[in-house]
A and B are shown apart, each in its own frame.
Chain A
């Protein structure tokens, strides 16, 4: 059996390692061939970018060689896919190589896009890209006071990020002793300050305690770079001296270009994680169209289901597990405290009071991520 993994980010890496571990004997005996195609030879711990933006981690702390994270039996090529021919069970890469497969896992992720909001790229800082995180730290370090506006585009990776960024901005300015010179303004596109109701309910008193001004029903329309004003679709506007953006995201262009999903979002069965209409194609991580949070933990829990099912199908002919929508997110609060949100398709999160222990656990996970990527944690 040939199992092909397209995408070497968190989801692709964990599921490939998961399958390779489960089918180690079969790989060794030549009965199973596992191949991974990626656009890069590097593996980035994306949540770490937030810490880079606030000066808490260095860029080289959050990157490793992709090959070093993979199980020995995985054939790894830095040669991104350009064409998907699902009807023929094959893909064609940028290098012109055709890979056929018996089972395909698409884990191509998604990326921030700025073209939907004119002026956003020029005027804003963001922790969502490598260059952005580096630049944001420098801006924060040099900021002496004024109006800081947080704006949010949808959809985006990491649902907690807008709240977390705001908490961390508050703490950053407090520790620098300039919080009283900063007007911190948070905006969100819908009728409450967060998409997940329990999180919104918990965060409102925290915002009030931190004296964060917030405005809901604020969908970015455009940014007047020269006058430093961000305009909303609703007709309101926010002046800023520093604009921090959670940019809108789209699935990778190769997905849309190959008609796998509008906007780069692949239609996916919410339980089996199979691509709709293709029983031998699985979708893991951000590129699915599932109405769930796009987070690393989502990809992680999905990977476990897909990994087990692929192994089970090979050995017994049928799948054994279903994905229940599980997501787990840490939420950095202030004063070196954190809390967490754990939820699934049925159960909403119950947010507990932030604690130092949870902050320490989050700090620890920033290191243990590499064990997760290897399929160990």
Chain B
């Protein structure tokens, strides 16, 4: 049991020193800040807030983000990234061996199983974006 004259705990002077140090740092930061700096920072923060507000209240974007979080969607995104990378490589290859084009080239491309898979995928995506479909005459 401690007496009323128990001295202040040993930690308090250290805490006080830290507070003083923090106050000095804040004061130094204030001295360094000009009105222009404050204005620029506040403007960036303000516009950032507005942008975040718009993004988070955009239901379409939020739905898209949720869809992109799905494992299957992530796999597709990785495939897309790979395709883009390999596309770049193909540009380098084609630069050395340019294709002649024409119907022959188109037929060769259409026979490629990977190309057919891509076309089916694109068709499914487009169909998904238009769930009500279009009427046929």
Query: Does residue A374 face the partner (Cβ distance < 8 Å to B)?
Result: yes
Q: Which of these, A336, A356, A357, A368, contacts B46 with CB under 8 Å?
A: A368
Q: Is the CB of B38 within 8 A of A363?
A: yes
Q: A356-B30, A376-B50 are in contact. Are A367 and B35 (CB under 8 A)?
A: no
Q: CB-nearest residue of chain B relative to A362?
A: B38
Query: Does residue A129 face the partner (Cβ distance < 8 Å to B)?
Result: no
Listed from nearest, the 5 A-B pairs whose CB atoms lie closest are A364-B42, A367-B42, A367-B43, A363-B38, A368-B46
Q: Is the CB of B50 within 8 A of A363?
A: no
Q: Is the CB of A371 within 8 A of B30?
A: no
How many Å lie between the Cα of A365 and that of B39 in the bound state? 9
Q: Is the CB of B39 within 8 A of A374?
A: no
* A340-363 at interface with B (beta carbon < 8 Å): 356-357, 360, 363
Q: Which residues of A contact B (CB under 8 A)?
A: 24, 56, 336, 356-357, 360, 363-368, 370-371, 374, 376-377
* B103-124 at interface with A (beta carbon < 8 Å): none
Which A residues lie within 8 Å of B53 (CB)?
374, 376
Starting from the known contacts A360-B33, A364-B45, A368-B46, 9 additional A-B residue pairs (CB-CB under 8 Å) come to A24-B57, A356-B30, A360-B38, A363-B39, A366-B39, A368-B42, A371-B49, A376-B53, A377-B49
Which B residues lie within 8 Å of A366 (CB)?
39, 42
How many Å lie between the Cα of A371 and that of B42 in the bound state? 11
Q: Is the CB of A363 within 8 A of B42?
A: yes
Most buried by B among A336, A363, A370: A363
Q: Is the CB of B30 within 8 A of A357?
A: yes
Most buried by A among B30, B45, B46: B46
Give the total number of A-B pairs whose CB atoms are below 8 A apart. 40
Which B residues lie within 8 Å of A376 (CB)?
49-50, 53
Q: Is the CB of A371 within 8 A of B50?
A: yes
Interface size class on chain B is 10 to 19
Interface string of B90-112 (1 = CB under 8 A from A): 00000000000000000000000
How many Å lie between the Cα of A48 and that of B41 in the bound state? 18
Which A residues lie within 8 Å of B38 (CB)?
360, 363-364
How many Å lie between the Cα of A377 and that of B39 in the bound state? 17
Q: Is the CB of B35 within 8 A of A363?
A: yes
How many Å lie between the Cα of A364 and that of B53 in the bound state? 19
Most buried by A among B35, B45, B57: B35
Q: CB-nearest residue of chain B relative to A57?
A: B39
How many Å lie between the Cα of A377 and that of B57 in the bound state? 15
**A80 to B: closest C-beta gap in Å:** 28
Q: Is the CB of B39 within 8 A of A367?
A: yes
**B42 to A: closest C-beta gap in Å:** 4
Q: A363-B38, A363-B39, A376-B53 are in contact. Are A370 and B33 (CB under 8 A)?
A: no
Q: Is the CB of A367 within 8 A of B46?
A: yes
Interface string of B37-79 (1 = CB under 8 A from A): 0110111011001100100010000000000000000000000
Q: Is the CB of A368 within 8 A of B45?
A: yes
